[in-house]
Chain A
Amino acid sequence: MQPYEYFEHTADIGLRSFGRDVAEAFANAGRGLSALLVDPSTVQPREERQVTLQGGELAELLVEWLNEILFLADSEGFLAVDVAVHVVNEQGLRASLRGERADLSRHRLLGGVKAATYHQTQVRCDGGCVVQVILDV
């Protein structure tokens, strides 16, 4: 099973990811987003960041989770390459990211993403899980 895919949206990019459970699908969404910021093969997992979010609907948590990855990139230049979601349910999300700070001499930076939106956001679990979100780029 492929971890994530991008789908068509006129001005923006659709991101759909898959997993055996919600946590894996959320982690794959994080990887799919990170791969739009930087070529993952150029990033080393040197530093770690923790992400903790309070509860809410899963679709809203998905948007918040992805926006947290963008927050780390903007506020401290942190680019994630290893993504692990430890817990995700209606009570909240706990995850860790490993990566390093942006360095133009080593990292192949890509186009960038402004935000994950609430437009057409979905979390569907039936056996495996599929989640999707539209990214504003």
Chain B
Amino acid sequence: MSKPGRLKRIDEYRWELPTTYKPGMRVPGLVYADENLAAQIDADQALEQVANVAFLPGIVGHSLAMPDIHWGYGFPVGGVAATGVEDGVISPGGIGFDINCGVRLLCSDLSEVGVRPRLVKLTEAIFHGVPSGVGVGGKVRLAGKEIDEVLRQGARWAVARGYGSEDDLERTEERGTFSAADPGKVSEKAKQRGTPQLGTLGSGNHFLEVQVVDRVYLPDVARAFGIAGTGQVMVLIHSGSRGLGHQVCDDYLRLMGPAVRRYGIEVPDRQLACVPFEAPEGQAYYTAMAAAANYAWANRQCIAHWVRQAFEQVFGKDYRDLGLQMVYDVAHNIAKVETYQVEGVRRRLVVHRKGATRAFPAGQPGLPEPYRAVGQPVLIPGDMGRYSFVAVAGEKAMAESFGSTCHGAGRLQSRSAATKSLRGVDVAGRLAKQGVVVRASGAGTLAEEAPEAYKDVADVVRVVDGAGLAQRVARMRPLGVVKG
């Protein structure tokens, strides 16, 4: 259980890390967890990072930790921090290297019974249709300065190129175009990394999954999201901004190193480098980060197009006739300027979400028309052997967590520990016995990403449901998995 002096229990799902934990914390930490997860979190070094984030100048409310929190670099993964636009900082570490890493969910009219006989063929068609792997380029050829249009327009660029429809944009956070983007603030080096990689999956925890709905919690909300009931086949896409985003983060961390001293800011970790949001360096990073976010939205739009093509090839029908429509696309590594009520005053805040999903409940501006009355779909992938969840943003998210909730299962084991404990185990064979078909381009990826390396996403989602940040709508289990 939690050691005295670290986490103080507030209620069933909330724990406080008081400012007395570490001198220099400007606000307390707030951790969402049940007793079991709190014990796991306490054993990890992530709490130290929750405390370090609380050092950021201008931080408002709490340094927040979602139940899937784990030790990252600088910021914890699963952390949320809001800073004042006028008096606060922006920190590239609060977004991470994979800017706008995020998830996109498609529904379909297909059933598990209809897909099962062709599952191997379908998984292979997706595997071959979407490029992945180190040094392997994408299928999109960008001419001259076209990368700047990708960075300016995001998913809209991809749709104009024939990869998808207007409806896809309608169901993407920011309509797939972050208007703050300035391609001029993205280095040539970042563009050189991003140009050959557009439309590639990437490695690590990125994946494409064919899934089946196996439980519905809120039938009315599920219907509004295009989920008719159990047995329905869905597709979940998890990818980000590839080397372009990594380079943007690296470029600005390097720039901010000396700038931190110039602005007289003290933070306990070099990876937490930050500058005032309104300073020239802060604005340059924000607009470059927005451009990288657009790249990621274009990337997922291209990937979705090739996934649809794979279905068309295997089922011999147009994707529209297969009902392969977007449910939603949401970022979980991003910073955005949003307005919240803070101690009775409306304030514009820079909300850093590092491994956390935006969760806007019904009635919030910025939601697409089909979801205005019901609330934003929240997509929470789990590991490749168990479940993923669709949730809907809860009322408490606006009051407590700056419109944010969890983003996934959260790692429990390091990659090397997972690989060691699974030495000699045929992970793909074991999943095949459970009826899950797996294809991976990177040797070794499967052991690193095996189910036992992760927390059980069901436990994570139960906490955010109980705390009122997001309600469970439906649960899916994997049928076909493609890993980078």
User: Are A and B interaction partners?
Assistant: yes
| Most chain B CB atoms below 10 A, which of A11, A63, A75 | A11
Q: B358 at the A/B interface (Cβ < 8 Å)?
A: no
Within 8 A of B (CB), among A88-116: 101-102, 104, 108-112, 114-115
Distance, CA A102 to CA B197, complexed state (A): 13
Q: Using Cβ atoms and an 8 Å threshold, which residues of chain A touch B96?
A: 136
Contact size range, A: 35 or more
A37 & B204 in contact (Cβ 8 Å cutoff): no
Q: B94 at the A/B interface (Cβ < 8 Å)?
A: no
Q: A84 at the A/B interface (Cβ < 8 Å)?
A: no
Q: Using Cβ atoms and an 8 Å threshold, which residues of chain B touch A104?
A: 133, 136, 441
Please pick, from A38, A75, A101, the residue contacting B192 in the complex, using a CB distance under 8 A. Answer: A75
- The interface-forming segment of A24-32, A66-74, A124-132 is A66-74
Q: A83 at the A/B interface (Cβ < 8 Å)?
A: no
B72 & A11 in contact (Cβ 8 Å cutoff): yes
B110-141 contact mask (Cβ, 8 Å, vs A): 1 or 0: 00000000000000000000000111110000
Q: Using Cβ atoms and an 8 Å threshold, which residues of chain B touch A44?
A: none
Within 8 A of A (CB), among B243-275: 243, 246-247, 249-250, 253-254, 257, 269-271, 273
Q: B19 at the A/B interface (Cβ < 8 Å)?
A: no
Q: B16 at the A/B interface (Cβ < 8 Å)?
A: no
Contact size range, B: 35 or more
Closest to A77 in B: B135
Task: Known A11-B70, A74-B242, A77-B135; judge A39-B443 contact (CB<8 A).
Answer: yes
Closest to B271 in A: A119
Q: How far is the CB of B70 from chain A (nearest CB, A)?
A: 5
B73 & A136 in contact (Cβ 8 Å cutoff): yes
Q: B97 at the A/B interface (Cβ < 8 Å)?
A: yes
| Most chain A CB atoms below 10 A, which of B77, B192, B414, B484 | B414
Please pick, from A67, A76, A117, A137, the residue contacting B204 in the complex, using a CB distance under 8 A. Answer: A137
Q: A10 at the A/B interface (Cβ < 8 Å)?
A: yes
Q: B193 at the A/B interface (Cβ < 8 Å)?
A: yes
B442 & A10 in contact (Cβ 8 Å cutoff): no
Q: Using Cβ atoms and an 8 Å threshold, which residues of chain A touch B270?
A: 118-119, 121
Task: Known A60-B257, A111-B442; judge A10-B70 contact (CB<8 A).
Answer: yes
Q: B74 at the A/B interface (Cβ < 8 Å)?
A: yes
A10 & B411 in contact (Cβ 8 Å cutoff): yes
Q: Using Cβ atoms and an 8 Å threshold, which residues of chain B touch A9?
A: 71, 414
Q: How far is the CB of B443 from chain A (nearest CB, A)?
A: 6
A13 & B73 in contact (Cβ 8 Å cutoff): no
Distance, CA A120 to CA B197, complexed state (A): 29
A12 & B72 in contact (Cβ 8 Å cutoff): yes
Task: Known A60-B257, A75-B196; judge A110-B444 contact (CB<8 A).
Answer: yes
A75 & B193 in contact (Cβ 8 Å cutoff): yes
Closest to B78 in A: A11
Q: B98 at the A/B interface (Cβ < 8 Å)?
A: yes
Q: Using Cβ atoms and an 8 Å threshold, which residues of chain B touch A102?
A: 133-136
Q: How far is the CB of B248 from chain A (nearest CB, A)?
A: 11
Distance, CA A102 to CA B193, complexed state (A): 15
Q: B203 at the A/B interface (Cβ < 8 Å)?
A: yes
Q: Using Cβ atoms and an 8 Å threshold, which residues of chain A touch B247?
A: 67, 71
Q: B448 at the A/B interface (Cβ < 8 Å)?
A: yes
Q: A78 at the A/B interface (Cβ < 8 Å)?
A: yes
B136 & A77 in contact (Cβ 8 Å cutoff): yes
Closest to A7 in B: B416
Q: B417 at the A/B interface (Cβ < 8 Å)?
A: yes
Task: Known A11-B77, A110-B442, A115-B97; judge A74-B197 contact (CB<8 A).
Answer: yes
Distance, CA A118 to CA B44, complexed state (A): 20
Q: A134 at the A/B interface (Cβ < 8 Å)?
A: yes
Q: Using Cβ atoms and an 8 Å threshold, which residues of chain A touch B320?
A: none
Q: How far is the CB of A10 from chain B (nearest CB, A)?
A: 4
Q: B84 at the A/B interface (Cβ < 8 Å)?
A: no
Q: Across chains A and B, which 3 residue pairs bring their CB atoms closest together, nearest first?
A: A102-B135, A112-B203, A119-B73
Provide 27 A-B residue pairs closer than 8 Å at the C-beta atoms, listed in order of the A residue: A7-B416, A10-B411, A11-B70, A11-B414, A12-B414, A60-B254, A67-B250, A70-B243, A71-B189, A71-B192, A75-B192, A75-B195, A75-B243, A76-B196, A77-B136, A104-B133, A109-B136, A109-B443, A110-B443, A110-B444, A111-B448, A111-B484, A114-B97, A114-B98, A119-B270, A136-B73, A136-B97
